[in-house]
Amino acid sequence: MARVLDGTAIAAAIKAEVRDEVERLAGRGIRPGLAAVLVGNVPASEIYVRSKVKTCGALGLFSELITPPETVTTEEMLALIHSLNARQDIDGILVQLPLPVQVNAKLLLEAVSPEKDVDGFHPVNVGRLQTGQPALAPCTAAGIIEILKRSGLQIAGQNAVVVGRSDIVGKPTAILLLAENATVTVCHSRTRDLASFTQRADILVVAIGKPAFVTEEMIKPGCTIVDAGINRITDRAEFERYFSGNARREESFLQKGSTIVGDVVPQAYGLAGAYTPVPGGVGLLTIAMLMANTVRAAKLRRGLPV
């Protein structure tokens, strides 16, 4: 029977470690601080950002939620970022995406000081990560590595296949797996004969953003599946295709009118030696790693060992 890699337990352990580190830093008069910038009124983003702010409070970090109006300009946002860069009580700056169309998101993200880039998106941090220097890694990618390590799964020497090449998940995950001495192949939606690659994977990371994109025949029996996909489905026929006979999912689907499926068809999990469920897997690590990155940023900025 496939082993379930419990994202809930791993995220809780990381948060507990962050809380302990925050207490130790408090003894030195340091309180890590996170500024979260949320533009406009996007319900999903509001829920996500407020959850981050709430988690900061629970772990003892200082946090500040800044909510510019939907009409904000690139120039106004740049002025805000520059002011946050200059503040000594702010160690991490989070700009919640997506931004309104009139705001130049790329310019804005590059304006964030690399030392405060807790999302790990700045080109300087990407370069540091690539060259093995101390860096702030993208939270989901860092969380994937934590899941594997804390579950006692071997990475070194394993054939790791990453399906997806986004700057947020796919590419940084590949870099981090290489740093752990895996042999890494990066595939994507235009890879020819994708199954010929996935069928050789000891570790298969799927982060392509397409529901149930990887199917049973693409899986090497006994491999570790890390499913980073979070796709909401509302169609009844789709639900039946993926979750027919699942009473718990059926009840939730009837109540909410939707459910979540990963980038791997759920039936494929049974072929794995271990897998991350959706929900309850990779997604839970993102906020935990954001908290860890904020503490890491606070220590790096002060020249403390990390």
- The residues carrying an active-site annotation are 52, 96, 119
CA 16 to chain centre: 18
Q: Which two tokens stand for residue 113?
A: 């000081």
Contacts of 152 (CB under 8 A, 6+ apart): none
* Furthest-apart CA atoms within the chain: distance in Å: 58
Q: Rounded to whole angstroms, what are the CA distances from 40 to 48, 65, 92?
A: 14, 13, 21
> SS3 for 203?
strand
CA 48 to chain centre: 13
- Contact (CB, 8 A) for 191 and 210: no
Length of the chain: 306
Q: How far apart are CA 155 and CA 149, in angstroms?
A: 8
> Comparing C-alpha atoms, which of 197, 173, 168 is closest to residue 185?
197
> Comparing C-alpha atoms, which of 4, 2, 1, 3 is closest to residue 277?
4
HSE (CB half, 13 Å, CA atoms) of 295? Answer: 24
> SS3 for 194?
helix
> SS3 for 63?
strand
Q: Which two tokens stand for residue 5?
A: 């890699």
- Contact (CB, 8 A) for 138 and 169: yes
